[in-house]
Structure 1
């Protein structure tokens, strides 16, 4: 019975997201007509995320290790345990940003709009697709748009989720573009909704993320990419162990 209620909650949450997206769609559609206005699409995504989640009793809370200068551009690297990670992170980023994610997510009605405008899709099985996606990401960084990349590349299949090895892409990108990396630890979003919620459903609750202080990359070369990857992995791993 408890599982049935949690699955009903998941459907209510998804319906809520769709409802508020449709409500905002006329404005989003107008904004999508000009790339110069794309930064405002981010604002509406944050509004949709906050209102639809609140209607489902889900809230997002961020703790910062140090003050962040949101006038700068960053590569942002969070761990990934839940579809709520995107909402938890996007509602706590105070600059223009985009997400890089697997292209299969384009099948979702709401996500497809954002992938056609502000976000970046990648086929992780294709080296050509990956090359193109990171090329687009580099252009975004040049234009002052921060890029959020989940270095695990996917949500782990195991429950409770364990931190999986990180891929090199985001770390090479940060070094090439000479922009700082911000590690983010998603602490307990999986307890509210693990993965898509299909298996265990979801429940009301607070999703906590910890925003670590930026790591500078201006002094690094591509030979340091592995060390940077391991440093970020260790930072997030340690925070998860503390939690």
Structure 2
């Protein structure tokens, strides 16, 4: 019975997202004709479609900061990834417009397609050409002063409960090459509310807890290996993930 209720909640969640997307679509369609000019507006719509969709079914967000964040800077935001709700959690915490780098399959989703055709960056990870194009586009956005979200694990864990998996080097190489600070983010319990896309366990109302760690500065003139920063970020995030010490 509980699983049936959670499946119904998941259906309501997707219907809620679809509802707010549909009523916003005419404006989004217009804005998408010139995404460079309307970048901030498209980001704003993405944020409020996702937030209103989750609020409507009783999903809330709470952010804890290790230290105050200077949002006048741009960052490469590196969160763990256990749920499709991670996307909404990140739009909630960041007052600064940003782009996601995500799997190319998101172009097939009727809701996410318009965002990945305009402000976000699709990538087919097994394709070197696609990865190169994504890296080039991401570099352009960083030089324009925009932030990026890259899930360093590369995907959602295939097993429940999820763990923090080894990071891929792309985000850290990009940060070093562009002298952009890394902002580690731990999303603690999104998988308990909606794991992956909710297909197996459904979803439920609740409060998703997020911890934003201290930014890690990068400098391409300093001979620090990408792997060293990668390991530093992993260890800090894994500590908070395991212990919940900042909650």
TM-score exceeds 0.5? yes
Q: 1:157 to 1:163 in 2, by over 3 A?
A: same
2: CA distance between counterparts of 1:222 and 1:84?
37
- CA deviation map 1:27-71 (0-9, x unaligned): 212221221111111111111122111111101111111111111
Instruction: Report the counterpart of residue 127 of structure 1 in structure 2.
Output: 128
Which residues in structure 2 correspond to 1:100-115 (within 5 Å)?
Answer: 100-115=101-116
Give runs of ≥4 in structure 1 deviating > 6 Å. none
Structure 2 gap ranges (5+): none
- The CA distance in 1 between the partners of 2:41 and 2:61, in whole Å, is 21
**Aligned equivalents of 1:216, 1:44: Cα separation in 2:** 30
**1:129-188 deviations in Å (ceiling 9; x for gaps):** 111111110000001110100000000011000111100000000000001000000100
Superposed, 1:1-243 pairs within 5 Å as: 1-34=1-34, 35-218=36-219, 221=222, 224-243=225-244
Q: Which structure has the highest helix share of the two? A: 1
Q: CA RMSD in A?
A: 1.2
Tell me whether 217-226 or 104-113 shows the greater mean CA deviation: 217-226
Tell me the TM-score normalized by structure 2.
Answer: 0.95
Q: How many residues are treated as equivalent by the alignment?
A: 243
| 3-state SS of 1:235 partner | helix
Q: How far is 1:223 from its partner?
A: 5.1
String of CA shifts for 1:63-108, please: whole Å, max 9, x gaps: 1111111111111100000000010011111112000011112221
Deviation at 1:220, TM superposition (A): 5.5
What is the CA–CA distance in structure 2 between the aligned matches of 1:234 and 1:207, rounded to whole Å?
22
TM-score, normalised to structure 1, is 0.97
